[in-house]
């Protein structure tokens, strides 16, 4: 078996699944209706090691790998896709700080991030710089040796106005990727403000807002690494982020399939259970097959990223494209099996469909994933 889990990984899966079943699934619909994340629940997840998954242990991290993270987010998303996806973004911020930050920055911020006493948001996308991230316009101008002055805006930021720390890519130099640097902007910094909460199709349990910088003064000790390295940091973080979002799609779709199975067994039409009709059986078989294929590709991509395989970026892009497409299709078919009831909030499948739709867009659209895969193929 190519992906036989170790005893430790089996424990990780069981722990994440139990937490999803007991703490996330019963509350997911309420959190969406209230449009809020629950800080105590986030801290409980952190206590299990899920907020610093691949952060080193000397600052409170779990010191795990990318496959471990995929296993965790797959299971957490069975309970609440929106919450699990938010925690995956927090983990990407923690990883970036642990990997590229100074020892002083690591010790200052990471213990709090690992406990989710501090919550982090990732700020790359701008109103006019989505897929073309290297064209970002947010500027960071050095004001002597005392501060950088940030001006600009970041769009579609998960946790905007909710988080305590913002990992911001801003332009300190020339046009293009070589002029971008990375800064840590703490909540409450003068000049940092937020737009109204976005009204979204899905991910409604997590706040999303514009993050605005108006002469926002950041001390130089809050810059991660040298000037001009920020775009490299952002791109290196995307491979892992793509795997995490794919894992969230896999978990959410698996939950939708489980719900469809239960409904098909219980629902009677024309004197027979839906599950007795061959048309329904074919749907269920195709859904299960797609998810198994998606799981295999996801785990292989995660294994390659852990091993620093030279083809890891290609496989991460392949996995993100395939798994998020498959996950959305499976969730949509689960809604179809529910018929009209699938369209009602009480049955919760429609929430999964809405939550999974954005996964085909973020962390690089699936069209961009195809560009990356083809580019890597043509290098050979």
Catalytic residues: 363
End-to-end CA distance of the chain: 29
Four-point Cα dihedral 164, 166, 172, 178, nearest 10: 150
Any idea what the Cα angle at residue 135 is, between residues 129 and 137, rounded to 5°?
80
Nearest to 68 by CA among 208, 294, 240: 240
Q: Which H/E stretch holds residue 259?
A: helix 230-266
Rounded CA separation 26/215 (Å): 43
Nearest to 174 by CA among 223, 237, 231: 231
Tell me phi and psi for residue 120, to 5 degrees: -115, 150
Rounded CA separation 164/185 (Å): 9
Q: Taking the CB of residue 336, how many other CB atoms lie within 10 A of it? A: 13
- Whether residue 226 contacts residue 66, with contact meaning beta carbons closer than 8 Å, is answered with no
Residue with tokens 């995490």: 244
Rounded CA separation 70/90 (Å): 14
DSSP code, position 126:
B
Can you name the residues that pair with 5 across neighbouring β-strands?
Answer: none
User: How far does CA 14 lie from the centroid of its chain?
Assistant: 21
Rounded CA separation 251/245 (Å): 10
Phi-psi category of residue 156: left, alpha or beta, with phi > 0 → left and psi -120 to 50 → alpha: left
């Amino acid at each position: 078996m190519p992906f036989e889990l170790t005893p430790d990984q089996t424990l990780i899966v069981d722990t994440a699944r139990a937490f999803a079943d007991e703490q996330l699934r019963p509350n997911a619909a309420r959190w969406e209706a209230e449009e809020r994340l629950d800080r105590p629940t986030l801290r409980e997840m952190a206590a299990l090691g899920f907020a610093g998954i691949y952060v080193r242990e000397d600052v409170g991290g779990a010191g795990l790998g990318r496959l471990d993270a995929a296993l965790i987010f797959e299971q957490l998303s069975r309970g609440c896709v929106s919450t699990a996806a938010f925690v995956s973004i927090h983990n990407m911020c923690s990883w970036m700080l642990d990997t590229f930050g100074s020892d002083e920055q690591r010790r200052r911020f990471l213990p709090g991030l690992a406990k989710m006493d501090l919550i982090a948001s990732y700020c790359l996308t701008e109103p006019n710089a989505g897929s073309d991230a290297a064209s970002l316009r947010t500027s960071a101008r050095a004001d002597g040796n005392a501060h950088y002055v940030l001006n600009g805006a970041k769009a579609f930021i998960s946790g905007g106005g909710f988080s305590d720390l913002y990992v911001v890519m801003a332009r300190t130099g020339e046009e293009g990727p070589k002029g971008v640097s990375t800064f840590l902007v703490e909540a409450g910094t003068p000049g940092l403000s937020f737009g109204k909460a976005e009204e979204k199709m899905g991910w409604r349990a997590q706040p999303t807002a514009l993050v605005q910088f108006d002469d926002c003064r950041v001390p130089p000790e809050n810059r991660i690494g040298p000037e001009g390295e920020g775009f490299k940091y952002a791109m290196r973080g995307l491979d892992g982020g793509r795997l995490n979002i794919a894992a969230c799609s896999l978990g959410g779709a698996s939950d939708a399939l489980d719900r469809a199975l239960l409904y098909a067994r219980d629902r009677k039409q024309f004197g027979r259970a839906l599950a007795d009709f061959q048309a329904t059986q074919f749907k269920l078989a195709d859904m299960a097959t797609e998810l198994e294929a998606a799981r295999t590709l996801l785990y292989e991509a995660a294994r390659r990223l852990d091993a620093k395989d030279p083809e890891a970026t290609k496989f991460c892009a392949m996995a993100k494209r395939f798994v998020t497409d498959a996950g959305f299709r499976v969730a949509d078919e689960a809604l179809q099996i529910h018929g009209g009831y699938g369209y009602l909030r009480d049955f919760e499948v429609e929430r999964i469909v809405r939550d999974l739709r954005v996964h085909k867009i973020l962390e690089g659209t699936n069209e961009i994933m195809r560009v990356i895969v083809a580019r890597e193929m043509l290098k050979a």
